[in-house]
Structure 1
C-alpha cells in the first residue's frame, strides 16, 4: 500500500494511485513564518485583528471565515492616487529565535509519508481587494490599471522575499497558497483581464518556489474556475484545491490528468452546516465520487484548509472517503 505522500504524488502525476488521496492527509501544512505570530488571525466571535499590511479582519459567529473590515474607519487604501501613503511593505526579515519553533515543527514531519507544505495567504488578487474593497478593486482594474500594476508589483516583491525566508528555514516540498478567483458560478474577471494583471506575477511567484525545491504547487480557490485552467497550468499550478462541484469535475479530472489535479468537490456550503450529520456528509461524498469516477480527483472539502466551520465535519468527510476507498475503489 502506498504511503499518503506516494499516493498523492501518483494522483498528481497521472500515475497509478491505489486509492483516493484523502483530503490533506499527504500534506503537513505549516503556518510557517514569524508573521503568523506577530499578526495572528482573528478567531471566530472574537475581536477584530489587523494583518501585517494593516488590513482589519473580523470573523462573526455563524460565518465560514474571517472577512476584511472595509467601512470608512477601517478601509486601508482610502485614496488610490496616494496609495503609497497607506500601503507600506511589511517586514520580511526576522531574528532567528522567531523561526526556531517553526523549524522545530517542520522537523517533526515524517517526510517519507507527508510533504512539508508551506502555507501562504492571501494571494495577489485577494490582498488587492482586501485593501480597497472588492467593488473599488474591480472598478480600478478598468480605470486605474497603472496603479493596480504598481500595487501588484509591491505585493509580488513581498511574497518573493517571504518565500526566500520560508524556503531557507523549513525547506518545503509543497506550497499551499490562497487566492480566490471566482464565485460559485463564475470567475471574477475575464481571462484577458486575469492575464493582464495576475498571470505573470503569480507565474513568477510559483516559479521561484519551484526553482528552490518545491515539488508541488497547490492553489486554493474555492470557486468556479474551470475557464482559468489553461492559465493555472501556465502559472505552474499542479493542484487546484477548493474546486466546487459547479465545475465539470469529471471532465477536468480526465482531460487534465498529469497536468492539473482537482482537489475538492465536496462543497462546504452543502455539508458544512449547523444541521450536518454523518449520514448527510457520507451521502454527499458518495454522490461526488460516483459522479466524478476518476482516480485523478482528490476528494476534499472546499474550505481553505484541514478544518471546517462546524466541528466534526472535516473528520466526517475524511471518514466517508475512507469508507468509499474500502468498499468501492475501482483502481486497485
Structure 2
C-alpha cells in the first residue's frame, strides 16, 4: 500500500494495520533536529505520508528592518519575539470597519502555479494537499486586530458580514486554481478555538463563519477532493456543523482539550482525526519512553474503524527535544513493533 492509499483508507474510515502519519516542523525545530542529527535530509527520511504546501500571503523580509515581514495583504508581522515562524501583527490595515477603503491584493497566479507545479512534482507516493492558512477569521483579525473583529460581531455585524464575504470571494479562485492540479485534498487553516470553547462562541461562528466555510468546502467537494480543516483549541461544539457542510478531516486533535475516546465515539464515523500527540504537554516534557507510551495509548483509542492520521497536534516547535522527535519517528515508522495489537 502506498502512503497516499494509506491516507485515503483513513479518510474513508477503513482500518488497517498501518496508520498513516505526518510530522510538520517550525523552522526552529527543524534546524535544531538537523544540527542534532547532522543530517540535512532528516525530514525527508522520516517519511511522512502527506505532501503539503500552505499559502498564507508570502511574507517577505522588509528591507532594513530585521525580523519584520510584510505579506501580500500589506500586513506587517514582527517575528522578533517568541513566535518566529508567523510573528505578531504590527499594525492593522482596517481601523474602522464602518469607514474603510482597504482593497484586497490581486493574488500572484504565476507564483501560485509554480508552487503547485513543484508540489506535484515531488509527490512520490504521498497524499498531496493544497493548503490555505489564515483563512476567514484569521485573515479578518490579521487585517483588523482580534479585539476589533470580536467587537464588530456585536457593533457592526452587517459590515463584518461584508468583509467575510470579500475574504471568501478572494479565496474561491485560488481554490479553483489548486483544483487544476493533481492534489488529493484542500486544507484550510483557521484557528477558532481556545482551551475551552470557541473564541467567538458557537452562535457567532455559525453566523459569520459557517456560511463562508460552507462555500469554500463546497467548491472543493465539487472538484472531487477531500476537505481538511485545521483549528487549534476546543471546537467540539461545532463538529456537527462541520460534518454538515462537508468536512472530511479535522486537525488538530488535542488530547489535553478533548476527551478523545468520547469524540471518537460521537464523531469518528464522520470525521477523520489528524493529530493526537500533544505538542503542548507530551512532546516538550516527556522522556522518549514517555513519548512512545503516549503514541501507543492514543493510537489504541483512535485507530479503531480507521479515521485516524497519526501526528503531533501542531507543527513541532523549538521546545521539543530532538530525542523526542526521533523516538516519535521511530514509532511512526515501525508500527509493526510498537502498535501491533
Which category of TM-score, normalised to the shorter sequence, fits these structures? 0.7 to 0.9
Asked whether the 8 Å contact 2:261–2:301 carries over to 1, the reply is: yes
Asked whether the 8 Å contact 2:296–2:339 carries over to 1, the reply is: no
SS in 2 for 1:82: coil
Q: Which runs of 5+ in 2 are unaligned?
A: 24-47
What's the counterpart of residue 3 of structure 2?
4
What's the counterpart of residue 230 of structure 2?
220
What's the counterpart of residue 241 of structure 1?
251
Q: In the alignment, which of 57, 82, 103 is matched to residue 77 of structure 2?
A: 57
Give the aligned length.
311
Q: Distance in 2 between matches of 1:105 and 1:177?
A: 17
Q: Distance in 2 between matches of 1:318 and 1:99?
A: 32
Q: Distance in 2 between matches of 1:119 and 1:165?
A: 12
Q: Taking structure 2 as the reference length, what is the TM-score of the superposition? A: 0.81
Asked whether the 8 Å contact 1:180–1:221 carries over to 2, the reply is: yes
Asked if residue 99 in structure 1 is aligned to residue 113 in structure 2, the reply is yes
In the TM superposition, 1:95-244 aligns within 5 A as 95=110, 99-100=113-114, 102-110=116-124, 113-168=125-180, 170-214=181-225, 216-244=226-254
Say if 1:167 and 1:317 are closer, same or farther in 2 by CA, change over 3 A. Answer: same
SS in 2 for 1:224: coil
SS in 2 for 1:81: coil
Structure 1 residue 324: Cα displacement: 4.8
Backbone CA RMSD of aligned residues? 2.8
Asked if residue 309 in structure 1 is aligned to residue 318 in structure 2, the reply is yes
In the TM superposition, 1:243-258 aligns within 5 A as 243-245=253-255, 246-258=257-269
Say if 1:66 and 1:320 are closer, same or farther in 2 by CA, change over 3 A. Answer: same
Q: Distance in 1 between matches of 2:130 and 2:311?
A: 19
Q: In the alignment, which of 254, 259, 262 is matched to residue 270 of structure 2?
A: 259
Structure 1 residue 138: Cα displacement: 1.0
Q: Taking structure 1 as the reference length, what is the TM-score of the superposition? A: 0.83
Structure 1 residue 253: Cα displacement: 2.1
Q: Distance in 1 between matches of 2:173 and 2:266?
A: 36
SS in 2 for 1:30: strand
Asked whether the 8 Å contact 1:301–1:314 carries over to 2, the reply is: no
Q: Distance in 1 between matches of 2:183 and 2:106?
A: 21
Say if 1:78 and 1:162 are closer, same or farther in 2 by CA, change over 3 A. Answer: same
Structure 1 residue 176: Cα displacement: 1.7
Asked whether the 8 Å contact 1:60–1:66 carries over to 2, the reply is: no
What's the counterpart of residue 69 of structure 1?
89
Structure 1 residue 60: Cα displacement: 3.9
Asked whether the 8 Å contact 1:118–1:176 carries over to 2, the reply is: yes
Q: Which runs of 5+ in 1 are unaligned?
A: none
Per mean C-alpha deviation after superposition, the further-off stretch among 49-58 and 23-32 is 23-32
